[in-house]
Structure 1
Amino acid sequence: MLYRIAEVADWRAADATGTFASADLAAEGFIHSSERHQVLETAQRYYAGRADLLLLEIDEARLAAAGVRIEREWVEARGEAFAHVFGPIPLAAVTRVWPLAATEAGAFVLPTDL
């Protein structure tokens, strides 16, 4: 599974169009995503202080079946590879969606059933 931290507005747009896309797809040509173990650091680095976030769980096999290309690319700043999704994500590939909340101290916490 892959995970994407999403803004509520992008998720609402996906509900209307049938595919999830975000600003990074238009700007960079792909949607950034994370493995489970990468989610919290990504949230802290790029979304600190945000309360309007969702966490999408995305099935890689469903993406591949829909013809959506995924490439893992090395990110020097993080010292590991991240999955990049080269196209809009069909809603059929999104298996679960959770609110992504931070504690009062500001630390993000993964959903308990993840």
Structure 2
Amino acid sequence: MNINLSIDVIEKDNQTELIVTGEIDAFTAPLLKEKLLPATAKESEKIIVNLQDVAYMDSTGLGVFISALKSTKEHGSTLTLVNLQERVHRLFKITSLDSIIAIDTTVRGGE
């Protein structure tokens, strides 16, 4: 099985940035969850997920972000998604998750 996902985690002060590259699907979502959820459990942590190099995400990926959002509510941390490509951003819009998950409005990748 070829897992087409890499995640760099940069921790500084009360901020954790995840730079995600590849595709988020049923095979790779567990890796994203494993890297993302511990950061959301830190009180007052600001989590930024950079999705600039994610061209594809399915509903499994959405599930990871919903879990992360619930965890931030429980622990008083915040979650922001940044640099979404249009295709990925559309998934959040179609499901109305863009109304509950903070998404930087800078959308990359054209129309």
TM-score calculated relative to the size of structure 1: 0.24
Name which one, 1 or 2, has greater alpha-carbon Rg: 1
TM-score calculated relative to the size of structure 2: 0.24
**Higher helix fraction: Structure 1 or Structure 2?**
2
